[in-house]
Amino acid sequence: MSTYFMFTLKAFVNQLAFRSEVWLRLLGNYFAILIQVEIWRAVIGNGGSASTTVEQMITYSILNTLLFALLLNRVSSKVDGSLKSGSIASELIKPLSYPLYLLFDGLGQSLYQFIFTVIPSLILAWILFGMLPPASTIHFIAFLGALLMALILSFLLGYLVSLLAFWFLSHFALSWTLGGLITIFSGSFLPLWFYSPSWAAVAKLLPFQYLGYVPAAIYLGNQNEAELWRTIALGLIWIILLLVVAHWLWGKAVRRLIVQGG
Amino acid sequence: MTLLLFSKLVRLLLKEKMEYRADFVLSAFAQIISYAGDYIVIWLFMKQFNSIAGWNWPEIALLYSIGLFTYALGASFSFVQMSGLEGQVREGTFDTLLIKPVNPYLYLISRGFNLAYVAHISISGTVLIWAIAQLNLQWSWTDYVYLLLALISGAMIHAGLLTAIGATTFVWVRTGYLFSLFFQLKEFISYPLPIFGTVVQLLLTVGVPLAFVNFYPAAFLLSYETSLIPHWAKWLVPLAGPLIYGLGYRFWMYGANKYQGAGG
């Protein structure tokens, strides 16, 4: 296991070379949050809507913008690069698990983002826009759990796309499709409680909601305890399901591997 | 001469792309799904709140579509070329471009002319036409001419800004994050400008003049108030494109002339 943690460390140290971009990233996050804050002020600013206050929506927007920086969404482009350059062949003969290597490498990047982007952005956003505290201790603990699930699910989805790329020979189309599905069903901009009932019903069955809506909604206490358990259970089912599919596809993909270049 | 060269390079490019025809079609299809996702989320948002800053759903669809359409048009001549410059400068392959007996800028943009934007153009064009029909506007022919000019100008604004960012490669080499910042700024113009504070409105009008891409033209066409630009200046707005593109080009050529190599 310590080998894999070394990959995390290595990815982290690699990212350190780009420290100068921290200010630009902060500015980028500030813009992203500002846009959402102004939108929510414009539509629910005065008086507020029946169920949601502007403060809640500001907190929701901050959480989602920062969560996005943490997600492991570079997996498929990394594998694609190895497939196209042919270096996948030498990576596969190493005595280690390739998917675990990808996971820990991705975690290293997330760790870097957490320290150098998320924490400073969080402080900045808290000062400039104000943030609500978590609804309760239980909700905060559940929120941390939901974050972990978001990381795992984002990895698994990206990994599945990269495995399918063994057949498609390019991850481009699949990644864009996945991105579109995440935009529609994650609720990372518009919370699912604002979706029309039929769209919300579909979104609440799919795994994409864990990449946006679920952690923020739990943080805000928008889910009571019964709902909370149901959400977590469904998330676990999705994780297991995607793991099984990924494992099965992996076996097939390795045998199908076509190295295009090198 | 250059036009002939351009068409020849594009034909070469077309051949190259059609080697991977299935991939090209699949990719275009996937991009349409992705942008449909953006439209769906805005539609769901508008369904819930009915209007934002007084703009209803077809009006927002019009605003967003002009933004996406002009981006695609402008970016096909600039984005991939300018973001790829980083690798070329670092590896030193950019130098080979400078010894060709053609304008390096024209060569770079035509060789990299990106056909993949057909996806963006088809979805945003379709929604744009739908929105105009839906709004049941009593437009005279001058309004249609104005829209056309605005589309051309908007494309030139995008291309000009992306070209200017590309030019910074000659100094800083690593520019990837400036492009991300550009895309984040572009998010602002998906919504009517008045929802933002004065600072942002000024920034998008004077600093990074993205508001000229879609907000000002759409506001004039839909007869909305624009606090920063008086109504008599309506026909000056489409001049922003040529101006910004010209400046971007001059800046790029200036950078290319100063270019010393990155030591690769």
In the prediction, which pLDDT does A260 show?
58
- Is residue B263, in this structure, part of any structural domain at all? no
Contact A28 B29 (CB under 8 A): no
- Is residue A262, in this structure, part of any structural domain at all? no
Contacts of A177 in chain B (CB under 8 A): 30, 33-34
The answer to which of A150-159, B39-48, B141-150, B172-181 has the lowest mean pLDDT is B172-181
What per-residue string of b and e applies to B189-226 under the rule 16 or more CB within 10 Å gives b? bbbbbbbbeeebbebbbeebbbbbbbbbbbbbbbebeb
Measured CA to CA, the distance from residue B254 to residue B258 in angstroms comes to: 6
CA of B60 to nearest chain A CA: how many angstroms apart?
A: 13
Which candidate, A185, A186, A217, places its Cα nearest to that of A68? A186
Cα-Cα-Cα-Cα dihedral sign, residues A50, A51, A53, A57: negative
Contact B30 A28 (CB under 8 A): no
pLDDT tier, B264 (very low <50, low <70, confident <90, very high otherwise) = very low
Comparing alpha-carbon positions, the chain B residue that sits nearest to A43 is: B52
- Indicate if the pLDDT at residue B1 is higher than 70: no
Contact B44 A190 (CB under 8 A): yes
Measured CA to CA, the distance from residue B146 to residue B148 in angstroms comes to: 5
Candidates A44, A177, A195; nearest CB to B30: A177
Cα-Cα-Cα-Cα dihedral sign, residues B167, B173, B178, B183: positive
Residue-wise pLDDT tens digits, A45-87: 755 566 788 999 999 999 999 999 899 888 888 888 887 787 8
Which candidate, A254, A78, A249, places its Cα nearest to that of A171? A78
CA of B83 to nearest chain A CA: how many angstroms apart?
A: 16
What average pLDDT does range A202-217 have in this prediction?
96
- Is residue A28, in this structure, part of any structural domain at all? yes
CB within 8 Å of chain A, chain B residues 95-154? none
Contact A38 B34 (CB under 8 A): no
Measured CA to CA, the distance from residue A33 to residue A63 in angstroms comes to: 9
Which candidate, A43, A37, A45, A42, places its Cα nearest to that of A63? A37
Q: Which two tokens stand for residue A174?
A: 């699949």
Measured CA to CA, the distance from residue B130 to residue B135 in angstroms comes to: 9
- Is residue A245, in this structure, part of any structural domain at all? yes
Instruction: Give CA A114 to chain center in angstroms.
Output: 13
- Is residue B82, in this structure, part of any structural domain at all? yes
Find out whether A39 and B52 touch, Cβ atoms under 8 Å.
Answer: yes
Structural domain span for residue B236 = 2-258
Name every residue whose Cβ is closer than 8 Å to that of residue A77 and which is 6 or more positions away in sequence: A171, A175
Candidates A168, A176, A184; nearest CB to B41: A184
- Is residue A18, in this structure, part of any structural domain at all? yes
Find out whether B32 and B119 touch, Cβ atoms under 8 Å.
Answer: yes
| Tally of structural domains, chain B | 1
- Is residue A261, in this structure, part of any structural domain at all? no
Measured CA to CA, the distance from residue A125 to residue B236 in angstroms comes to: 38
Measured CA to CA, the distance from residue A75 to residue A18 in angstroms comes to: 19
Candidates A24, A168, A190; nearest CB to B41: A190
Find out whether B195 and A38 touch, Cβ atoms under 8 Å.
Answer: yes
Contact A31 B187 (CB under 8 A): yes
| Tally of structural domains, chain A | 1
Structural domain span for residue A97 = 2-256
Candidates B26, B37, B196; nearest CB to A184: B37
Measured CA to CA, the distance from residue A256 to residue A155 in angstroms comes to: 22
Chain A contact present for B178, CB below 8 A: yes
The complex's ipTM works out to 0.90
